[in-house]
Every structure is written in C-alpha cells, then in structure tokens.
Amino acid sequence: MARAPLGAEHAGSPTQWLLSTPRATLVARGGDRLSAPIGPGQFAALAGAAESALRAGPAGAVVVGAIPFDETTTRAHLLLTRVERRAHQPGRRPHAVAMALQEADRPPWPPAATAGPPLPRVEDPPPAAYLSAVRDALAEIRGGTVTKVVLARTLHVSLPEGRSYRELASALVSSLARREPTAHLFSVTVSRPHPDAAGAVLVGATPETLLRRSGDLLTVTPLAGSIARDPDPAVDRARATSLLRSAKDRDEHRHVVDALQRLLAPLCRTLDIPAAPRLHATSRLWHLSTPIRARLRRPAPSSLALACVLHPTPAVCGTPTRRAAALVRAVEPVPRRYFSGLVGWMDQSGDGHWVIALRCGEADPRGLRLYAGAGIVRGSLPDAELAETGTKLATMLGALDDAHGAAPAPPSPADPLPATSPTGAPR
C-alpha cells in the first residue's frame, strides 16, 4: 500500500478521530486508511494489517479508529496516523475538547438564542414492536436457543434546515464533555451510511472500556446489569443496593464474565476475576461491573488482536455469541453499524485502549440516529427493558437539547455510593 508521510494530511485536516478520558484527550487528523473485506474474518484480518502497518511505519505511528458491531455487514474504519495527546485535569476536559474541535475545520454549531421547537423524531422499532421483540427473545431463551441476547432500538432525529451534521457532532461532543465527567468521549469520522451520503460522524460518551493492554498487563472492565438513577440521594442509594442484590441482573452479568474468562484463560498466565461485581455510576445509570486483571502469555497478542477475540462480548450481543448475533440480525430493523462496536488506539508496541461505543449516535446529512440496547435474560420484563433503553437514549438526547437550545436538563444526582473509577487515561 503506497503511503504519504503520516504528517502530510494533518495540517488543516478535519479531526478524524477523538477519544477523551477524564485525564487526557487524544486527537488524530488524517492518515492512511487500513481495510479488510467485509465478511467473516474481517476483524482478524484488520488486526493483522494494523500490526504490519505499525511495524513498517515511522517511529511514533499509531493505529486509531472504529470497529463495527458486526464484521459481516459494515466495514471497519482504521487509520495509520499520529496522535496528539493533551493531558488535563478532569474539570478541564471541556476546555481541551473545545480546543481540539476549534482547531479542526468544523465550525461550532451556533447556539440558539431561545429553545427551538422539538426536532422531528422517529422511533425504529416503535415501542410496541420493541416490546414484541423482547417477548420473542424470551421465548428463544425458554426454548434454549440462547441464554442472553441484547436487543437495540434507535431514534432518528431530523436536523433543522440549514444546519450541518458535522457542526452538530462537534456540539454534541462538547456538551457530553460537560455532562458526562467520568465517561470516555469519542468522535470518529466513519464510512458512509448510505451510497449517496457523505462520511458520517460517530459521537458518544461510553461508560465501558473493553480492554487496555500495557505490556503483558491486561485490564478488562465489563458492565452488564443496570438500573436508572434517581435525583433523591436516598432513593438512588436504595436503587444501587437493589441492583447489587438483583438475581436477574447478577445472572446477566455472570454470562458476560464467564464468557470473558473462557476466552482469556488460554491467553493469560494469571487471571484475577473478583468473585462478585461492584457498582459503577454514570450520570443516569448504576451498572454492575467486574474489573478483570490478567498477565498475558508471551508473546503477548496486540491490544487490537485481543479486542477482536473478545468482541462482541455478551454485554452487547448475547450468548452463545453466534446464535445471539443471528437473532440480533433477524430481529433488529436497523443495522447497528458502529453502535456497540469499538473505538480506540494501538501503538507500535501493541499496547492500546479500546472502548465500547455505547450512549452514542451517528450524524450524517440525513440526520442523527441514536442507539440504545438492553440485555434480555430469563426473568427480564419487556416494559422494564424498554424503559432501560429510554434511560440510555437520554444521555444523547440531553446533549442534543443543549445543541438545539432547549432548557437545560436537571443536574445529575450526586454519587451517594463509591463507584468504580473509569479505566485509566491513555498515555
């Protein structure tokens, strides 16, 4: 593959990729595209291509990008490039993100002087159809086809006339930097959603890191099982306690941890998995979390190779994986594309950080499509799963309200219980 110098596309190029943790914001502009054919084996082929490109690349080269949920329907978007890292204190992240966007070629979305009329929204599937899909999934679980399946729904929001979707993406990530202080923020230019469309922008604020590799140290932090938070601290504490005690949610979480243990055991010298999950807080939800630490066998697989082995986990797909993925393809009316896929980076040593693309949306000239999913297991209640997706959609809808000039959302509840801290910021 012929390549221009890695810096050639950087000056004056738009921000192609941004990943921000509470302590550092990473930005890449331009680079060389890496690709593999859509279909079974795409992810493994991409990991190999990325490793080869990094070995042949100049010192300081990094691979960044986004990997879709389903390798058989959507092409991954990876770049061989250089990354600019901006360290900052957690409270300074909104400024760092704003500066990164200001230096790109996306002008800011002009704030509205007053709240505008609600933007047209279409739910796909509609609530009644989603409830029916959950009931069908429960029938599959009772029949033994799957033990868990994650079902997503989407909300498509039309853009106001004359507004740019790229400007909207910038406004959304800026709002999320203010609203979601503990989340991993991302903004990635990805492949076209339609043959006649320009490149889309994937933007979101995920609570979940799939993995981070540093030398032979691997950390994996799955989330599964959740409950909505409440502004009243006493009610919020009670909800957190009920989540820890919920047999249904602990069972949902166990499916994820058991699957990760099976996949990781052959690759690791040591594997430390806590016996019980702990709580992880976001602005709107409590999650069950199990921080896994492992020492990899030598030679250690690269972070992207490991990510492709684990993805998609039961936290975003279900188990057994192939059956759950087939059910997702059959039931969900809108392809997920990059929702519940991966966003991250890998350096020339194979170290890297990959997060799961949750609490996100994809902006393109046709509008903004938001995504949310819920894990269905034995004991799931359709109405509760629908409500959970609504709570998850609210993260992006709140940011959209900021951009559209709507009245600000009420403040997020304070954390009444200790929550696990996010995975460490990239170096």
Q: How far apart are the first and last CA of the chain?
A: 29
Indicate the residue type of 218.
L
Instruction: Cite the active site residues.
Output: 148, 208
101 closest CA partner among 377, 401, 403: 403
Separation between Cα atoms, residue 265 and residue 407, nearest integer Å: 50
357 closest CA partner among 303, 410, 396: 396
Burial of 48 (0-12, 13-18, 19+ CB in 10 A): middle
H helical segments located in 86-206: 93-102, 127-142, 165-179
Confirm if 325 and 318 have CB atoms less than 8 A apart: yes
For residue 151 the two structure tokens come to 């079902």
CB burial of 201-212 (b: ≥16 within 10 Å; e: otherwise) equals bbbbbbbbbbbb
